[in-house]
Structure 1
Amino acid sequence: MNISDKFSRYARWVDDKCPLYATLAGVTATDDHLLDIASEASAGQPEPELLFAAVHSLLLQGRDHPLAQFYPTCNRNGSDDDPFPHFREFCVANEDTLRSIIATRRCQTNDVGRSAILLPSFEYVSRIAEHDLLAQIEIGTSAGLNLNWDQYQYEFGEIGQVGKSDSPVTITTEVRGDLRPPLSQDLPTITHRRGIDLNTLDVTTEQDARWLHALIQPNQLHRHDQLTAAIEIAREKQPRLIEGDAVAELPTQLSDAPNKADLIVFSTHVLYQLEKSMLADLRSLLSNHSTKQPVHRLSIDPDEGLGRPTYRIVTFKEGAVTESQIAQFESYGSWIRWQGS
């Protein structure tokens, strides 16, 4: 798929989420100059998301330009004008900076709404686990905000609230379907937290915190508020993050995990970015380690992208493998549909 088609596809996907981005993406798909700027993205990185995030980050940094009036995150009053001429002018005026950002940054949307699928999934693992304690390693951790999933409060509609009642982060999720997800007021005990990413983000720095905000569409103010609160928690309870390739780093991290705990290696929207050979290597690593302790792999299907992904569990125990689908969920946690037993 060429870069123009990617912008057209993105415009359709984002239409009901952020009309501003849908409009800009649709016209950018026909603008060779803007497409050339976006093409600075490194291999495997989504050009539309990076271009819009790079622009958003400069506006959040305080660049004074009429384009800011279309961005609610910039505290402007809004405008009924056509945003694209302002967008194009801004991109051309800041071309060198945008090219540098797009070439060096990655799409690492660390949305804590995705913890809505982690909470019942970890509870599910705790009920089939051999040990009372769980150790967790996240692949594609970004800033590690979802490693703190047990530090948040959750509202599951008629089911009610679970989690930390005094948390500044409240994740509201609609439960669809006939099956109730496994939930408990007594959350599983996490004894070990690690995150691996090619480019870890440090939320104690203004630059990385701003980049996380830049990756969220500017009209999604609730998600921005939620991110701000999650960053506050992470600055107090910052899990250890390891920068590097997952296949290269995972053997050491598996060995460092406590033995008297079931080990959970999880990810959300990461696997679709990995080559099949890397996925096979990851599976082999987990299978080999399962001769020492049970390993549970939680992830979406690697062939699924954003939208309505399916979450699945693969359990490795002494080299044997069992696999099942446990839920569908909206990419940012607005609803889940439990499918597990």
Structure 2
Amino acid sequence: MTLSGALAQQAEACTALGSPFMGRMLPLLAKVWPAGSALDAAVQAFEGDLGPSGHSLPLRLASGLHALVLTGQDAGMIAAYPPNDVSDEVLKTVLTSALSQHEAFLIQWITSPPQTNEVRRSAVLIAGAHALVKRTGATQVHLSELGASAGLNLMFDQYALTAGDTRLGRENAALTLAPDWSGPAPVTAPFTVTDRRGVDLNPLDPHNTDHALRLRAYLWADQAHRVALTDAAIRVNNAQVDRSDAVDWLEGRLAGAPQGLMHLIYHTVAWQYFPPERQATGTALIEAAGAQATSKTPLAWLRMEADGAARGAAVTARLWPGDHHIALGRADFHGRWVDWTDDPT
């Protein structure tokens, strides 16, 4: 796929995910792209798919440009970016200037893969955890997140969820998620998190200025509500995310899991990035641990992952003892809507 094609494909995806600015800016970026420049050479050095299913160069470039705005490095870009509204010609002019003046910054920026921590995905983690606790009667939960990034979704028990007339979470929650909810209301089953830990190949520390910039830069400039949620999550974050291969880490995490509580393993839009052989090994590890689970020490595997369907991600779970396969519902990849189907009553 050419860079122009990748930018067009990403623009379509961003528009579908509620960002008209990204849908407009990325095709304009293709029109002013500096062919033959050092930045162009850096992009062309990537082998394979440049688009959303591969290296995601459009998102890397867009986040680098957004970082220039967030750090105040380019006055022209600041004036042209939301909440300001300018013509396509003005936007093309400032993009052309930024690509030239900040070439070295952008070349360095795109060397790292995209990394976000979409807090709104915690809506299905909150509802899913309550559903699994309801089934097991567990009151204490041990959390293990795969592909945890900065660990913001490791703190989901500190957030609240409103789904119609139902509210889950503490009154003094750090933030409240309110996706468009359809289907039965989520069940309420209070629990306490006794331990939380995650793993990522390249974990970010949200309290590190450079890392926090990367988190915010990958949020789209016309979606200020996502920035507000991320900032609120960062303020209460104290989760630890280890740097490791997720499956290797999981093997040790399973071996050291305490007795007498529910171990909840989960991931959101991360499993698809694991190589097939790692997926197979990870599945085997979880199934082997599940075979040893008891009613007093249940094991749950909660997933929000793409399944090839045209709309959103599947929210599913497996629960031991018994290896129950549970279809909980579907959700927008950014958590804007949830179509819940679980009704254990």
Which TM-score bucket, shorter chain as reference? Answer: 0.7 to 0.9
Aligned with 2:132 (options 116, 125, 128)? 125
How far, CA to CA, are the matches of 2:55 and 2:259 in structure 1? 36
Q: Deviations over 1:126-149 (max 9, x none)?
A: 022264322111111011011111
How far, CA to CA, are the matches of 2:15 and 2:302 in structure 1? 30
Q: Does the alignment pair 1:332 with 2:338?
A: no
**Partner of 2:222 in structure 1?**
219
Once the two structures are TM-superposed, the CA of residue 305 in structure 1 deviates from its matched residue by: 8.9
Q: Deviations over 1:187-246 (max 9, x none)?
A: 322112111000111111111111111110011111111111111111xxx112111110
Assess if the C-alpha contact under 8 Å between 2:219 and 2:226 holds in 1: yes
TM-score by length of 1: 0.87
Q: Deviations over 1:92-126 (max 9, x none)?
A: 221222121111x2322212111111111001110
Alignment of 1:270-289 (within 5 A): 270-289=270-289
How far, CA to CA, are the matches of 1:125 and 1:271 in structure 2? 20
Aligned with 1:49 (options 51, 55, 59)? 59
The secondary structure found in structure 2 opposite 1:325 is: strand
Once the two structures are TM-superposed, the CA of residue 168 in structure 1 deviates from its matched residue by: 3.6
Once the two structures are TM-superposed, the CA of residue 46 in structure 1 deviates from its matched residue by: 1.6
Q: Deviations over 1:301-341 (max 9, x none)?
A: 45449951111112344xx6432321111222222111123
Assess if the C-alpha contact under 8 Å between 1:268 and 1:300 holds in 2: yes
TM-score by length of 2: 0.86
Once the two structures are TM-superposed, the CA of residue 40 in structure 1 deviates from its matched residue by: 6.1
Q: 1:279 to 1:305 in 2, by over 3 A?
A: farther
Q: CA RMSD in A?
A: 2.4
Q: Comparing 303-312 with 115-124, which one deviates more in the overlay? A: 303-312
Assess if the C-alpha contact under 8 Å between 2:329 and 2:341 holds in 1: yes
Alignment of 1:18-97 (within 5 A): 18-29=19-30, 31=33, 33=35, 36-39=41-44, 44-72=54-82, 77-82=84-89, 83-97=91-105
Assess if the C-alpha contact under 8 Å between 1:306 and 1:331 holds in 2: no
Gaps of 5+ in 2: 49-53
Q: 1:219 to 1:37 in 2, by over 3 A?
A: farther
How far, CA to CA, are the matches of 1:35 and 1:312 in structure 2? 42
Q: 1:315 to 1:3 in 2, by over 3 A?
A: farther
Q: Deviations over 1:13-59 (max 9, x none)?
A: 11252222212222444647366554566984322111111111122
How far, CA to CA, are the matches of 2:45 and 2:121 in structure 1? 29
How far, CA to CA, are the matches of 1:53 and 1:131 in structure 2? 42
Assess if the C-alpha contact under 8 Å between 2:72 and 2:78 holds in 1: no
Q: Does the alignment pair 1:114 with 2:115?
A: no
The secondary structure found in structure 2 opposite 1:195 is: strand
Q: 1:41 to 1:148 in 2, by over 3 A?
A: farther
Once the two structures are TM-superposed, the CA of residue 275 in structure 1 deviates from its matched residue by: 2.0
**Partner of 2:177 in structure 1?**
171
**Partner of 1:190 in structure 2?**
193
How far, CA to CA, are the matches of 1:203 and 1:283 in structure 2? 30
Alignment of 1:225-236 (within 5 A): 225-234=228-237
How far, CA to CA, are the matches of 1:77 and 1:2 in structure 2? 30
Assess if the C-alpha contact under 8 Å between 2:68 and 2:77 holds in 1: no
Assess if the C-alpha contact under 8 Å between 1:28 and 1:35 holds in 2: no
Alignment of 1:259-278 (within 5 A): 259-278=259-278
Assess if the C-alpha contact under 8 Å between 2:34 and 2:99 holds in 1: no
How far, CA to CA, are the matches of 2:119 and 2:241 in structure 1? 17
- Identical pairs, percent: 24
Q: Comparing 116-125 with 105-114, which one deviates more in the overlay? A: 105-114
**Partner of 1:246 in structure 2?**
246
Instruction: Give 1:290's aligned amino acid.
Output: G
**Partner of 1:311 in structure 2?**
315
* Number of aligned residues: 328
Assess if the C-alpha contact under 8 Å between 1:147 and 1:239 holds in 2: yes
Q: Deviations over 1:154-203 (max 9, x none)?
A: 2223x2433122224121122113x2222x2x532211211100011111
Aligned with 2:211 (options 185, 208, 212)? 208
Instruction: Give 2:25's aligned amino acid.
Output: L
Q: 1:66 to 1:180 in 2, by over 3 A?
A: same
The secondary structure found in structure 2 opposite 1:290 is: helix
Instruction: Give 1:106's aligned amino acid.
Output: P
How far, CA to CA, are the matches of 2:231 and 2:311 in structure 1? 24
